[in-house]
Amino acid sequence: MKLALVALMLALGAPSRASDELRVTYWPEGRERGEPLRWTLRCSPVGGTLPRAAAACTRLARMKAPLAPLPKNQACTEIYGGPQEAIVAGAYGGRRSWIRLARSNGCEISRFERLRFLVPAFRGGDP
């Protein structure tokens, strides 16, 4: 009886990751130029078309709020890192997510670099 109660409490208290699935759409030359590349990532169970899916899931799990939007009114350096753009959409950690990864200023470049493992076709610097 106690074991069943503990199992029920664990099941109810743990966030469900069964629906975690992300879709990544990447434009190497920007959205106005060329066709996008696309991948999917599932973390429970691990799968999808993203190369090294298990490693990507591990990296996401170790990050604090990996798909959170950038803070509003954040001061960012005005540097341009390139036309590359990606959209990461779906569900992760029990929450719906939609973020745009770009290289249009210092804040965007920093986030792009932090999540570049979700964009395997990006060819800038070391992964």
* Torsion sign over Cα 36, 99, 51, 19: negative
* Count of C-beta atoms within a 10 Å radius of residue 34: 10
Q: Which of 126, 115, 103 is nearest to 27 (CA)?
A: 103
- Which of 81, 78, 30, 88 has its CA nearest to residue 56? 88
pLDDT tens by residue, the chain, 127 residues: 444 443 433 343 444 445 689 999 999 998 888 899 999 999 989 999 999 999 999 999 999 999 998 899 999 999 999 999 999 999 998 899 999 999 999 999 999 999 999 998 876 643 3
Say what the pLDDT of residue 32 is. Answer: 86
Q: Is residue 78 part of a domain?
A: yes
Residue 80 covered by a domain: yes
First to last CA, the chain: 50
Identify whether 106 is part of a domain. yes
Strand partners, 101: 86
CA distance 107 to 48: 29
Instruction: Tell me, yes or no, whether 14 lies in a domain.
Output: no
CA distances from 98 to 12, 31, 63 (A): 26, 16, 17
**Looking at residue 69, which CATH number applies to its domain?**
3.30.350.10
pTM here is 0.79
